[in-house]
């Protein structure tokens, strides 16, 4: 049922696993001897967070926040709202924000700005996917899984209308599914 809505598999389970391991090695090298605080932006990054945190051989804590950016089915708008804030104080911490995908940049430019005002020791952004063609707001991306073309993708945490998050791979959704 889920599979028949997928036009093409972009990244297999195996490819995702390898890439997550490589990002973990990069982070370990950059934060050697320090403790990091991983912040997962819900809901799309929960699978990535679960895999990356287990790949990471560094002391770390985890927290979660949720934002909604109002827009139509497949694009976000500039209006972002925090719907669930962090449980922990980030003052003086080395924060890495984990996102599923960096698209227009609206959500993350807003979110990173809020976090920087809370005086962490540092903030970096780690996104599994980057869709640079769609960028409206510039956002600095420190760790990137894969750069992808302008297509709507689902799976490995990413949804369309809250579905397909449980696919173990990342695939392009058939445009007829969302009326594209
Ligand atoms: P931005 O504010 O446009 O950068 O939107 C980022 C958010 O839009 C992501 O966290 C996703 O939740 C969602 N999004 C953007 N592109 C896709 C996609 O191709 N598939 C699924 N969700 C997407
Ligand atoms: Mg989403």
Question: Ligand 2 centre from 33 Cα, in Å?
Answer: 33
Under a CB-based contact definition with an 8 Å cutoff, are residues 146 and 11 in contact? yes
Cα within 13 Å of Cα(123), Cβ side: 19
Give the mutation target among 48, 76, 82 for probing the ligand 1 site: most ligand atoms within 8 A of CB.
76
CATH topology of domain 13-152: Rossmann fold (3.40.50)
Tell me how far apart the alpha carbons of residues 6 and 168 are, in angstroms, rounded to a whole number: 12
pTM, rounded to two decimals: 0.95
Q: pLDDT tens for the chain, 180 residues: list them.
A: 689 999 999 999 999 999 999 999 999 999 999 999 999 999 999 999 999 999 999 999 999 999 987 666 667 666 788 999 999 999 999 999 999 999 999 999 999 999 999 999 999 999 999 999 999 999 999 999 999 999 999 999 999 999 999 999 999 999 999 987
Tell me how far apart the alpha carbons of residues 129 and 141 are, in angstroms, rounded to a whole number: 10
Q: Which residue has its alpha carbon closest to ligand 1 atom 11?
A: 101
């Amino acid at each position: 049922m889920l599979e028949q809505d997928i036009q093409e598999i972009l990244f297999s389970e195996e490819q995702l696993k390898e890439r997550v391991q490589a990002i973990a090695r990069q982070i370990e090298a950059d934060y050697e001897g320090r403790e990091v605080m991983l912040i997962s932006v819900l809901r799309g990054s929960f699978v990535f967070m679960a895999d990356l945190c287990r790949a990471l051989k560094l002391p770390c804590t985890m927290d979660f926040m949720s934002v909604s950016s109002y827009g139509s089915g497949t694009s976000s708008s500039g209006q972002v709202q925090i719907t669930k804030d962090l449980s922990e104080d980030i003052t003086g911490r080395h924060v890495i924000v984990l996102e599923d995908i960096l698209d227009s940049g609206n959500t993350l430019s807003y979110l990173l700005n809020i976090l920087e005002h809370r005086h962490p020791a540092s903030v970096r952004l780690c996104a599994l996917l980057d869709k640079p063609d769609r960028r409206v707001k510039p956002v600095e991306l420190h760790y990137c899984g894969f750069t992808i073309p302008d297509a709507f993708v689902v799976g490995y945490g990413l949804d369309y209308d809250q579905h397909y998050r449980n696919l173990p791979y990342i695939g392009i959704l058939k445009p007829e599914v969302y009326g594209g």
